[in-house]
Structure 1
Amino acid sequence: MTTKLAALSTTRRRFLKGTGAALAASATGGLCLPALAQAQEITIISNLGNAQQREILQRLATEFEAKSGAKVVINNMDHEAHKTAIRSYLVVGAPDICFWFSGNRMKAFVAKGLFDDISDLFARENYKSVLGATTSAVTVGDKQYGLPMGGILWGLFYRKDVFAQHNWTPPKDWKEFLAFGEAAKSANLVPISMGTKELWPAGGWFDHMNLRINGLDKHIALMDGKVQYTDPMLTPVFDKWNDLLKAGFFSPSHSSFGWEQAGAALAQKKAAMMDLGGFVRSAFPEADLPQLAYAPFPEIVPGVARYEDFSVNSIHVPANAKNRQGARDFLAYFYKPENLGAFLAAEGAIPPRNDCPPSHDPLVNAAVEELKKVVATSQYYDRDTDPDMAQEGMTALQEFMVKPDRRDQILGRLEKTRKRIFG
């Protein structure tokens, strides 16, 4: 096995990155490798920043080489450098496997014909039966162009002891949610802790509102620039959001502090719930983590199926790969539940497939169970739409939360941006 390392860095947006190569196992656990894969090396480009994950994937690569005789060449790139490099190497000098983002960022390369259709691998390994709703994260036009990696399930987090003290249960629908908010205020708690200094928490709240009111297809149509921001379908979204703002559901001065401070307010029993991903745990003292619990965002419109933001990273076979069969064999082995589970556990990410070994983290296990109830998933506002649109959109959504009376001007400005970007 050959491994080349470059400088590594991580960010909040970092995707799960890996190195390694492996062989597809048959249903009986035996190994069956096509001659092509044996004859050619398999090249991988990633930007894995977690040392434990590097060790795990290198172990898998060593196993692959021992069983197949194939050579594995792994190139680990700096995270930020990779964002630029991928746009070039997918065209010239493509590896056999690369790591990237799913959702809109994947679709951009699919539209240019730079990611291979691996629907045959999905069928061969029967992935849809274990991925369920998460399949949609790597699907374009009923075809799959990658495998979803570990992800973040977004929802409402709360403290069990606070809810027990007040005899509360997580609200299941809008009526219960409004009543819960009033009860929280009566207990001198902020109903929903929110910090929008980084902008994206406002985007997440919009996602949940729109998914619960308009459903996934209309939400993605908006993200793809096919629906106007002045479309009447968004009227009830902003109407109900405005009702919450008027009722004082969110943290005062939320635009002046970030999500970590908002998370600390939840941990310190100053707020009742918070809409975020599982990384809210970082705001909690270790001793208080057993009190942290997850609840789905409440239903708003009866009959709208349950769709959730599940931000997942992904792994792909470039269309210009030299050894596409070998790449499929690697993916099949790497994606076995015990291998994928070990890789994701190193970072505490939620497995996209439902048959990975149980995690030592109860929040991860709870998220896996919740995903079984989800019909389909979106990513997150800034992953589902064009990056320039996302920046303008999240800025505007934060502005709406501060000055809801500017709604018409804000949406009009967003519509001009949509036309400029999407035509």
Structure 2
Amino acid sequence: MAMKDLTSLISGAAPSRRQFMIGTGTALAGVALGCPALAQSKELVIISNIGNAAQREVLQRIASEYEKNSGAKVTINNMDHEAHKTAIRSYLVVGAPDICFWFSGNRMKAFVKRGLFDDISDLFERENYKSVLGPATGAVTVDGKQYGLPLGGLLWGLFYRKDVFAEKGWTPPKTIVDLLALGEHAKSAGMIPISMGTKEMWPAAGWFDHMNLRINGLDKHIELMDGKMPYTDAALKPVFDKWGELVKADLFSPNHTSFGWEQASAALAQKKAAMMDLAGFIKYGFPEDQVGQIAFSPFPEITAGIGRYEDFALNSVHVPKNAKNKEGARDFLAYFYKPENLSAFLETESAVPPRSDCPPSKDPLVNAAVEQLKTVAGSAQYYDRDTDPDMALEGLKGFQEFMAKPERRDQILERLEATRKRIFKT
């Protein structure tokens, strides 16, 4: 039941759990939580976790246009992306905005199960969204009801500079053996083979996803995400064996726990590193005049015969259950989600639009993702979106620790297994 290709995404086919993994990734000063009651039809408060300044500008432009057309006042509070992950747990309960940005899949489902996101199936019906979203509807669906609007999809994989590879005579690795060989060539050239910044922890989880999907495939990966497989299961041994081999081969940035993905992507831009595992937003680490040098390559094959399964993550936007102006929120979302507005919003982050009727992208990285998705056998979202949020937090810590201290592997996996048993009550 995995997503077969992007053609199905835009065809309007019925959503499948595995297609976008149902059940499965900023606080700036001045965010007002618990603000006074707002006029039901004339004021809207939006909390955004958007770290991209250009995307924040597009959102503000859309909000300003909506204000002129509707006469409503729209206030956007932009929060730090990482801080928002903690703040949302509080503000959804007390001081909820009318609209907030978040993640689809299990991260959304956790709040749905707690009764903190509003059912907006009526908006889907009114605007006939299912006809243009196809399987993307599944990413925001729980028990047949929709609790958000899917935003841009991000395809994860390896990125590199075309000019560097051409100059060195390198080709993107097709197998893990190729990757190890490229690593040696990169080190001989005085470069870091794989740029990695794990200060925020989640980049390490992305590497785990790729390793597990390439060795165990999608079904076993989702068993683990759903808490049905122990972290001490024998199936995970080759994943950590091979991952440990890459760590010990010095493929990754030294001291990667001390800096974030932005610094890691800057190292790729500055030709200090050969490749990096990320999504299209890697371009924000590059000077604007060098973005055209960025190229994408799928994560290499590890176990022959395993289908090509990828992380394809969808962000989302929601109406909190405790919002004061739910009708106004729906009205704004209908305006924001028009094809031309959604496309402009997504264009700034190299994200694949979920709507089949959005205008073509001007970004070659988006077009590359669209083409790559046509060859994908199935997709997960991302570790911290696919599993329970509390399990994800411990997993992120464990993967970061493993990349720094692979000799602690057994203790890490035993700790994660204890967490799995507690959370999933097995």
Q: Give the TM-score category using the shorter length.
A: 0.7 to 0.9
How much does 1:241 deviate?
Answer: 0.9
Structure 1 counterpart of 2:58, one-letter code: Q
Tell me, in whole angstroms, the C-alpha distance in 1 between the residues paired with 2:308 and 2:124. 24
Is contact 1:155–1:294 with CA below 8 Å preserved after alignment?
Answer: yes
Show the counterpart of 1:278.
280
Structure 1 range deviating more: 267-276 or 128-137: 128-137
Structure 2: segments with no counterpart, 5+ residues:
1-25, 30-39, 51-55
Show the 5 A alignment for 1:296-307: 296-307=298-309
Is contact 1:156–1:294 with CA below 8 Å preserved after alignment?
Answer: yes
**Residues 346 and 183 of structure 1, relative CA distance in 2, 3 Å threshold:** closer
**Residues 341 and 88 of structure 1, relative CA distance in 2, 3 Å threshold:** same
Structure 1: segments with no counterpart, 5+ residues:
1-6, 11-39, 66-70
**Residues 414 and 75 of structure 1, relative CA distance in 2, 3 Å threshold:** same
**Residues 257 and 120 of structure 1, relative CA distance in 2, 3 Å threshold:** closer
How much does 1:107 deviate?
Answer: 0.5
Give 2:215's match in structure 1, choosing from 205, 209, 213.
213
How much does 1:404 deviate?
Answer: 1.9
Is contact 1:158–1:272 with CA below 8 Å preserved after alignment?
Answer: yes
How much does 1:405 deviate?
Answer: 2.5
The percent identity for this pair of structures is 65
**Residues 125 and 106 of structure 1, relative CA distance in 2, 3 Å threshold:** same
Tell me, in whole angstroms, the C-alpha distance in 1 between the residues paired with 2:303 and 2:396. 24
Tell me, in whole angstroms, the C-alpha distance in 2 between the residues paired with 1:375 and 1:87. 39
Is contact 1:194–1:274 with CA below 8 Å preserved after alignment?
Answer: yes
Structure 1 range deviating more: 248-257 or 411-420: 248-257
How much does 1:200 deviate?
Answer: 2.2
Structure 1 range deviating more: 276-285 or 303-312: 303-312
The structure number with the bigger radius of gyration is: 1
**Residues 327 and 368 of structure 1, relative CA distance in 2, 3 Å threshold:** farther
Summarize deviations over 1:30-52 as a string: whole Å, max 9, x none: xxxxxxxxxx9487542246243
Show the counterpart of 2:243.
241
**Residues 364 and 144 of structure 1, relative CA distance in 2, 3 Å threshold:** same
How much does 1:375 deviate?
Answer: 5.1
**Residues 110 and 214 of structure 1, relative CA distance in 2, 3 Å threshold:** farther
Show the counterpart of 2:90.
84
**Residues 42 and 175 of structure 1, relative CA distance in 2, 3 Å threshold:** farther
Show the counterpart of 1:59.
65
Give 1:418's match in structure 2, choosing from 412, 417, 420.
420
Give 1:166's match in structure 2, choosing from 159, 168, 171.
168
- 1:359 and 2:361 aligned: yes
TM-score when normalising by structure 1 = 0.74
Show the 5 A alignment for 1:383-422: 383-422=385-424
Show the 5 A alignment for 1:94-243: 95=98, 98-117=100-119, 127=129, 130-131=132-133, 134-141=136-143, 144-243=146-245
Show the counterpart of 2:46.
46
Tell me, in whole angstroms, the C-alpha distance in 2 between the residues paired with 1:45 and 1:378. 32
Structure 1 counterpart of 2:195, one-letter code: S
Aligned residues: 378
Summarize deviations over 1:133-166 as a string: whole Å, max 9, x none: 6444323356543221135432211000111123
Which secondary structure state, in structure 2, belongs to the residue aligned with residue 191 of structure 1? strand
TM-score when normalising by structure 2 = 0.74
